[in-house]
Amino acid sequence: MGQMVSLSDFDWQLDSAEPHSVRRKEILKKHPEIKSLMARTDYKMVIMTYVCVIAQLMTSYMVRDARWLHVVLLAYTFGGCMTHLLWSIVHEASHSTLFGHSRPMANVLTAMVANTPVGFPMAVTFKRYHMLHHRYQGDGRYDVDLPTYFEAKLFSTTLGKIAFCILQPVCYYVRPLFMLPMVPTLLEVVNVAQILAVNWAVAHYWGAKAFFYLLGGSLMTLGFHPLGAHFIADHYLYEKESETYSYYGWLNWFVFNGGYHNEHHDFPSVPGAYLPDVKKMAPEFYTKFTHESWWTAMIRFIKDKDMGMYARRVREIPNARASNTKDS
């Protein structure tokens, strides 16, 4: 099983403020010009949505008679890039950066289109939980990005951490159902029906290999994958001074600058295309707490006995419970 992690609990900071709300005020005080980026939208991502969806469905059809080894390799490589592009579009849509806040339904519907070849329904539900993650980052009650005690104990060895990295998409999908269950909305029901219908059609008409390319590829690449590694690299405590980390390498091409994670949490209404501009406008705030490589960050998470599921900062933010109903 490998060595046990040295940590026995999360890094608790009771009643401390959400860090990025504090940073945002400080940054805007010195660089008010960043406000000009908040009003922008990124229609190019709408075009990319249809390009990626068509590419994934066409590839799924083309591999229906291929050898299994080729299907798996293609799903992990090309399919992985497409899956992360589509996931990033769903993420951008959750912040209404595709069409702006004045057209909420257009953002949601585009997210649902992007969800089509991913294999599991998440476009609508993701927004509900992700908004809470931003508002209450690290709050043990409302931030479902935080691992549970059950996960921390289950994946407490080197081999356990490898298993967690592989099972990331399953853990992230199931965790909210136990940690913070919400009554499904009509759009969520429609999203589930949509994905089930697509999955059935692909499996029925194109076969098991086509279906595996979509769903199996998503599960593989959102976990133990050079791009999936960013889910580990984003918020685990690689340094005690920060609970959010950025990455400025070339893999940002496949996540629409999702590596600019400190910038994103500081200014979540700025589209991914303009996050590098945030860094340029306020460079003194983004010189530390970065990863050279997402993959290296995940390997360190696995190998370092001082890293693990407990390496997360947890807090309870005053008055969070009172605002939860409105935000969700």
Assign 173 to helix, strand or coil: helix
Strands 246-247 and 290-291: parallel
Q: Is the dihedral of CA 64, 70, 73, 74 positive or negative?
A: negative
**pLDDT computed for residue 69 by the predictor:** 98
Q: Is the dihedral of CA 255, 251, 142, 153 positive or negative?
A: positive
pLDDT higher than 80, residue 323:
no
Q: Average of pLDDT values for 22-36?
A: 97
Per-residue confidence band for 325, with pLDDT thresholds at 50, 70 and 90: very low
Contacts of 3 (CB under 8 A, 6+ apart): 157, 158, 305
> Of the candidates 240, 229, 294, 307, which has an alpha carbon nearest to the alpha carbon of residue 2?
307
Q: What distance in Å separates the CA atoms of residue 11 and residue 238, rounded to the nearest whole number? A: 12
pLDDT higher than 90, residue 16:
no
**pLDDT computed for residue 317 by the predictor:** 57
**pLDDT computed for residue 2 by the predictor:** 73
pLDDT higher than 60, residue 326:
no
Per-residue confidence band for 1, with pLDDT thresholds at 50, 70 and 90: low
CB of 239 within 8 A of CB of 289? yes
- In eight-state DSSP terms, residue 14 is T
Q: What distance in Å separates the CA atoms of residue 272 and residue 283, rounded to the nearest whole number? A: 17
Residue with tokens 């660089």: 31
Number of neighbours of residue 307 by Cβ within 10 angstroms? 20
pLDDT tens, residue by residue, 115-159: 999 999 999 999 999 999 999 999 989 999 999 999 999 999 999
Q: Which neighbouring-strand residues pair with 314?
A: 12
- In whole numbers, what is the pLDDT of the chain averaged over residues? 94
Q: What distance in Å separates the CA atoms of residue 268 and residue 261, rounded to the nearest whole number? A: 9
> Of the candidates 129, 302, 120, which has an alpha carbon nearest to the alpha carbon of residue 214?
120
Q: What distance in Å separates the CA atoms of residue 203 and residue 61, rounded to the nearest whole number? A: 10
Assign 312 to helix, strand or coil: coil
